[in-house]
Amino acid sequence: MNAAAARIAFPPNWWARAGWLLLAAYIVYACSLLDFTWARFMVGLDNGARFIARMFPPNFSRWEILVKGLTESIEIAVLASALGILISLPIGLFAARNLMPVWVTWPARMLIALCRSFHPVIVAIVFVKAIGFGALSGIAALTVASIGFIGKLFAEAIEEISLKQVEAVRATGAPFMNVITYGVLPQVFGRFIGFATYQLDSNLRNSTMVGIVGAGGIGGALFAAFQRFDYDFVCAMLLSIIILIFAGELLATRVRAVFLERSRVNEE
Amino acid sequence: MDNSAALSIRNLSKEYKRGKPVLRDISLDFATRGFTAVIGPSGTGKSTLIRCINRLVEPTSGAVEFQGHDLVKLSGRALREARRGIGMVFQEYNLVERLTVMENLLTGRLGYVAPLKAWLRRFPQADIDEAFDLLDVVGLAGFANQRADSLSGGQRQRVGIARAVMQHPKLLLADEPTSSLDPKTSVEIMSLMRDLGTAKNIPIIVNMHDVELARRFADRIIGMSEGRVVYDGAPGALTDENLKTIYGGKDWLHP
Amino acid sequence: MTASATLDARTWRRFTPAQRIARFAVYLGIVVAIVVSFRAVEVIPEFLLDAPEQMADLFKRMWPVAFGYYPAGVHDALVETLHIATLGTIFAVIMAFPIGIMAARNITPSRPLNFVARLLLVSSRSVNSLVWALLFVAVFGPGALAGTLAIAFRSIGFIGKLVGEAIEEAHPGTLEALEAAGAPWFSLLTIGYWPQIQPAFWSVVLFRWDINVRESAVLGLVGAGGIGMALDTAMNLFQWDRVAMVLVAIFAVVIVAEIVVTQIRKRIL
């Protein structure tokens, strides 16, 4: 190799450069395609300022509607998560390729994939048309979403366990259920708590919005307020939703702390 | 030896928890050349001592005089500039794993190059030339564009040493530089550090637990026990009695 | 061990008493929540019994799927949906960077700034993209601009939080070495943190893009552009076969997006 070439400190990465160039070109192209002109943006900012002015101060006078909507959203989230977890556990188990034969895993995986593919709002619309307006459609829609998420992650968690531990328990002559309880479940429990709390959190977020299509919860009141230009009430509802979700996240962290014993060595 | 002291530590003390000092009133002077090894059992404060010098650990009290400044009193920009003059080699190498060897070497110049230029990898040509030369010296010629995490432990430590030398330091510190390496590589690394120290006229202070290695390479040995200096002298004068005082017990000394 | 160790030295307890109480409290809480919710939710039995029949009727009306509707009514909207998702993700990344850096405790030492940044990230996540869309439609008028900004603002919190977690898990030794060499703050970011969080960063961005493709598809229901508008129109006119076409199109795009993401993941990570 000639000495000069050998002394190049930072060889240029042509792939990376091409990538950035492509990205910049795309942004310009897409913006023009979607008609993002500077003029529109400025008009929008102006509107935005006026909009924000109308939102503040938030108007909590109709707090009964607010509370009713929020409680309904919480209820939808709780029930959808509970139902979803309940149904996902066996389905996830059936979908685990390292434990089950193909003719069992295939339909289970198809079911999970189907549940994941559609946005909860779309599923909610279908349920509203079928079951009617109200919280039940919301619960059904979010249960479907939960099955898609928890089912997939639970199956993945099971597929990632060390079979050596299962083998060891089996070698003691333990029956199937005991093998599951001592060999499989301890390994997946930690991750399960993680994504179960994540899904509860996600359902809480979604339950605040399925109401927009009539599936119960505070979304309905929110949408109605928007259409009536009651922006200060909208602001009140948004703030409550943010606080609710934040509280939900804190709760989830505490629950995780209770069930996931971290190594205590460093806490002395 | 003392009137041209490169580094003076005065009454240095460090307590991680109140009432449990790890360093008790240490006072030491270091000349402008020479290889000093600090030995002692784990937990005796060797690592704390080394790290107090460049303030990776905050001393509780005392002074560290280097290049006319008391390092303990510096902060912000002044501290950074002082740190440029002190090179450090770590036990776990502490390279930026995903960057190349060349990039890791040049991180030694980060204290001298403007941040934006550093990000854009626009280092002065002089630095780049020096980096290539150093790679030859440490025996890693041709490794410039390899990722750091593809190297072996010994190779990584060579990069670590080269990085420290790139700073043009007036002092080289090493915190257990060979503890993660096999015996043969450890000797190579100690050799490399000593040779570079002599060639560039830099005093070296190494904290280590291998007494034989220390005897072989150091000009001066400092033995610590329970936060105090209990031995300070030539390696040749280090007796078994001294070692017993430093480490306690005698079973480990001779089979 | 506790003082009672000598007495019950032979008793094996899996959990400490405090832990048992905590676990019991959680179980109890869960059960109470479920029971209360169950009783509170209004279940109109006629609707429930009717449901299978209604759903069968719905599916009957959706068949045969109006594939012919695709070129005229669906294709452009679908492309627009993809642009909304992609542009929205890109804008979100640009905005998430400064906020994420502000929120990371090991990069920004100022506690008030940390708090404000975290607040921004939480708010961004808590407001659903559909609701963001409503807001932006009210401000910027209906169309893709509202949709893109809605996606962007919703994604900031997601990206910011996960990247923040990656930052907090960075190997401290490397940072220590750079600090010891006297590197300034900006260099610590670009040379200390960035190379370490790169894989996590791309993974998070790809993940979010995938989710955003799904989300962009429904924003049109509130007028924020994309294929949701076609869906809305078809539903309002009770043209269920067209609705089916739109749903199939959405499904196909989501599958393709997932495949693309999996392939990119294999190459880059």
Minimal Cβ distance to B128: which of A6, A9, A11: A9
- Alpha helical stretches, state H, A8-62: 14-33, 38-55
Q: Using a CB-CB distance cutoff of 8 angstroms, which residues of chain B are in contact with residue C171?
A: 97
Q: What is the SS3 assignment for B177?
A: coil
ipTM here: 0.79
Helix axes A120-131, C45-62, angle to 10 degrees: 110
Q: What is the SS3 assignment for B237?
A: helix
CA distance A155 to A147: 11
Decide if B130 is inside a domain: yes
Pairing mode, if any, of strands B204-207 and B69-70?
unpaired
Burial of B81 (0-12, 13-18, 19+ CB in 10 A): middle
Decide if B254 is inside a domain: no
Find, in chain B, the residue whose alpha carbon is nearest to that of C170.
B96
Decide if B1 is inside a domain: no
Please report, for residues B61, B123, C129, C154, the alpha-carbon distance to residue C132 in angstroms, rounded to integers and kept in the order given: 55, 45, 5, 7
Q: Are A207 and A140 in contact (CB under 8 A)?
A: no
CA distance B146 to B100: 5
Mean pLDDT of B35-50: 89
Decide if B253 is inside a domain: no
Task: Please give the helix or strand (H or E) that residue B229 lies within, else none.
Answer: strand B228-233
User: What pLDDT is attached to residue C216?
Assistant: 93
Q: Is the peptide bond before C64 cis (omega within 30 degrees of 0)?
A: yes
pLDDT tens digits, A103-123: 999 999 989 988 888 889 989
- In this model, does residue A265 exceed pLDDT 70? no
Q: Using a CB-CB distance cutoff of 8 angstroms, which residues of chain B are in contact with residue A20?
A: none
Q: What is the SS3 assignment for B201?
A: coil
User: What pLDDT is attached to residue B168?
Assistant: 92
Q: Are C174 and C192 in contact (CB under 8 A)?
A: yes
Beta strands across the sheet bearing B228-233: B86-89, B171-175, B204-207, B35-39, B220-225, B228-233
- In this model, does residue A142 exceed pLDDT 90? yes
Residues of C with CB under 8 A from a CB of B: 171, 173-174, 176-187, 190-192, 195-196, 198
Question: Residue A249 has which token pair?
Answer: 């996240």
* B95: nearest Cα among C194, C185, C178, C182: C178
Q: Are B28 and B232 in contact (CB under 8 A)?
A: yes
The DSSP secondary structure of A85-143, one letter per residue, reads HHHHHHHHHHT-TTTS-HHHHHHHHHHHHHHHHS-HHHHHHHHHHHH-SSHHHHHHHHH
Give residue B255's pLDDT band: very low, low, confident or very high (50, 70, 90).
low
User: What pLDDT is attached to residue A5?
Assistant: 52
Decide if B154 is inside a domain: yes
Please give the residue range of the domain that contains residue B189. 7-247
Best to test chain B binding among A1, A8, A10 (most B CBs inside 10 Å): A10
- In this model, does residue B1 exceed pLDDT 60? no
Q: Which residues pair with B39 in a beta bridge?
A: B223
CA distance A36 to C83: 12
Decide if B255 is inside a domain: no
Phi/psi of residue A177, each to 5°? Answer: -60, -40
Give residue A84's pLDDT band: very low, low, confident or very high (50, 70, 90).
very high
Q: What is the SS3 assignment for B24?
A: strand
Spell out a b/e string for B94-131, using b for 16 or more CB atoms within 10 Å of the CB, else e: bbbbbbbbbbbbbbbbbbbbebeebeeeebeeebbebb
Give residue B254's pLDDT band: very low, low, confident or very high (50, 70, 90).
low
* A227: nearest Cα among B233, C40, C137: C137
Decide if B170 is inside a domain: yes
CATH number for the domain harbouring residue B76? 3.40.50.300
pTM of the model: 0.79
Mean pLDDT of A32-40: 80
Decide if B65 is inside a domain: yes
Question: Residue A100 has which token pair?
Answer: 């089950």
Task: Please give the helix or strand (H or E) that residue B38 lies within, else none.
Answer: strand B35-39
Best to test chain A binding among B98, B102, B105 (most A CBs inside 10 Å): B102
- Given a contact as 3+ CB pairs under 8 Å, which chains touch C? A, B
Q: What is the SS3 assignment for C56?
A: helix
How high does pLDDT run on average in chain B?
89
Phi/psi of residue B224, each to 5°? Answer: -115, 145
Question: Residue A92 has which token pair?
Answer: 């996830």
Name the residue with higher pLDDT: C54 or B164. B164
Decide if C42 is inside a domain: no
- In this model, does residue B67 exceed pLDDT 60? yes
- In this model, does residue A165 exceed pLDDT 80? no
CA distance C222 to B177: 63
Minimal Cβ distance to A10: which of B121, B132, B142: B121
User: What pLDDT is attached to residue B252?
Assistant: 67
- Given a contact as 3+ CB pairs under 8 Å, which chains touch B? A, C
Decide if C49 is inside a domain: no
Question: Residue B227 has which token pair?
Answer: 């936060």
Q: Which amino acid is at B155?
A: Q
CA distance B200 to B192: 12
Q: How many helices (H) and strands (E) does chain A have?
A: 12, 0
- In this model, does residue A18 exceed pLDDT 70? yes
Question: Residue A266 has which token pair?
Answer: 């460093």
Pairing mode, if any, of strands B7-17 and B86-89?
unpaired
Write down the residue that tokens 């392939």 correspond to. Answer: C263
- Under 8 Å CB-to-CB from B1, ≥6 apart: which residues? B29, B31
Q: Which residues pair with B61 in a beta bridge?
A: B13
The conformation of residue B255, written as its DSSP 8-state character, comes to -
Size of interface B-C (CB pairs under 8 A): 84
Q: Which amino acid is at B99?
A: L
The conformation of residue C42, written as its DSSP 8-state character, comes to -
Q: Using a CB-CB distance cutoff of 8 angstroms, which residues of chain A are in contact with residue B144?
A: 9
- In this model, does residue B132 exceed pLDDT 90? yes
- Alpha helical stretches, state H, chain C: 17-40, 45-62, 75-103, 111-126, 129-140, 144-168, 172-180, 185-187, 194-219, 227-236, 240-268
Give residue C5's pLDDT band: very low, low, confident or very high (50, 70, 90).
very low
pLDDT tens digits, C135-173: 899 888 888 999 999 999 999 999 998 888 888 888 889
User: What pLDDT is attached to residue A118?
Assistant: 84
CATH number for the domain harbouring residue C242? 1.10.3720.10
Cβ of B96 under 8 Å from any chain C Cβ? yes
pLDDT tens digits, B193-245: 999 999 999 999 999 989 999 999 999 999 998 889 999 999 988 888 888 88
User: What pLDDT is attached to residue A54?
Assistant: 83
Please give the residue range of the domain that contains residue C108. 68-268
CA distance C83 to C90: 10
Burial of B8 (0-12, 13-18, 19+ CB in 10 A): middle
Percent of chain C with pLDDT over 90: 20
CA distance C105 to C157: 16
Per the structure, the count of domains in chain B is 1
CA distance A156 to A194: 13
How open is the CA angle A89-A91-A93, to the nearest 5 degrees?
A: 70
Question: Residue C163 has which token pair?
Answer: 């990247």
Question: Residue C216 has which token pair?
Answer: 């962009």
Pairing mode, if any, of strands B7-17 and B220-225?
unpaired
- What class, spelled out in words, does domain A63-260 have in CATH? mainly alpha
Q: Which residues pair with B233 in a beta bridge?
A: B221
Tell if the CB–CB gap between C87 and A245 is shorter than 8 Å. Answer: no
Cβ of A16 under 8 Å from any chain B Cβ? no
Q: What is the SS3 assignment for B25?
A: strand
Give residue C1's pLDDT band: very low, low, confident or very high (50, 70, 90).
very low
Best to test chain C binding among B58, B90, B97, B107 (most C CBs inside 10 Å): B107
Name the residue with higher pLDDT: A176 or B25. B25
Q: What is the SS3 assignment for B104?
A: helix
- In this model, does residue A231 exceed pLDDT 90? no
Give residue B253's pLDDT band: very low, low, confident or very high (50, 70, 90).
low
- Alpha helical stretches, state H, chain B: 46-53, 76-84, 101-106, 115-119, 125-137, 153-166, 183-200, 211-217, 240-247
Phi/psi of residue B22, each to 5°? Answer: -95, -30
Domain ranges of chain A: 9-55, 63-260
Give residue A56's pLDDT band: very low, low, confident or very high (50, 70, 90).
confident
